[in-house]
Amino acid sequence: DTEVTQTPKHLVMGMTNKKSLKCEQHMGHRAMYWYKQKAKKPPELMFVYSYEKLSINESVPSRFSPECPNSSLLNLHLHALQPEDSALYLCASSQGTLLATSTDTQYFGPGTRLTVL
Amino acid sequence: AQSVTQLDSHVSVSEGTPVLLRCNYSSSYSPSLFWYVQHPNKGLQLLLKYTSAATLVKGINGFEAEFKKSETSFHLTKPSAHMSDAAEYFCVVANQAGTALIFGKGTTLSVSS
């Protein structure tokens, strides 16, 4: 099973709301990622967790707060977002952070479509 | 620094004709290269990957890509397009540490009947 699940599929929130996006995988992967994708653009890396520790933060504003409660779950907590944060948020996982090897591959979830009003 | 350039932002083909999506890479080391496909309002699906084994890589759904070091290219091909191939295609390179993926800008493939 190479499935990464994300909930919710769609989310509409106001600028003063607090919400969370959830991502789950049961492939035993130890690396998990958050990407942001605007319309007609490639995904942009936001965060990388490796063995439940934050290893890469691509200078993401603090209104986005990631959390990795265990090796299967990855959350993205949202607070005081702006309309320009509206996008598709993609979660991905891989066995490790050795994407340059033949044995490791990054698998993506279907995404959460976020609209900030 | 490593990067990929997708040479066409939009490619249109007729059903049953060959598909060619072009990608050039820039890397100071032997790169790991991938093609991902994204159907409308969906996540990304891995089509194939190259990691310094065979230069001709076969993927899912009849796609294949050839790594050409002399041309720094990794073009994606399919002998016969199907309507279901209409999607956004991303050429991707792993960074040298292997910790993250670097995406090209994408090529939109349209297939007409």
Q: Which two tokens stand for residue A106?
A: 């990054």
> Using CB atoms and an 8 Å cut-off, which of residues 73-92 of chain B contact chain A?
90
Q: Each residue of B5-23: pLDDT tens digit?
A: 999 999 999 999 999 999 9
What is the rounded distance in angstroms from the CA atom of residue A35 to the CA atom of residue A42?
10
> How much of chain A, in percent, has pLDDT values that exceed 90?
72
What rounded mean pLDDT belongs to chain A? 91
What is the rounded distance in angstroms from the CA atom of residue B4 to the CA atom of residue A23?
28
Which residues in chain A touch residue B51, judged by CB atoms under 8 angstroms apart?
100-102
In this prediction, residue A40 has a pLDDT band, given cuts at 50, 70 and 90, of confident
Q: Each residue of B16-69: pLDDT tens digit?
A: 999 999 999 998 888 889 999 999 878 899 999 998 778 899 999 999 999 999
Q: Does any CB of chain A come closer than 8 Å to the CB of residue B106?
A: yes
What is the rounded distance in angstroms from the CA atom of residue A29 to the CA atom of residue A104?
10
Q: Which two tokens stand for residue B110?
A: 């349209």
What is the rounded distance in angstroms from the CA atom of residue B71 to the CA atom of residue B26?
10
- Segment B75-97 mean pLDDT: 94
Asked if pLDDT for residue A97 goes beyond 80, the answer is no
Do A97 and B98 count as a contact with CB atoms less than 8 A apart? yes
pLDDT of A96 reads 80
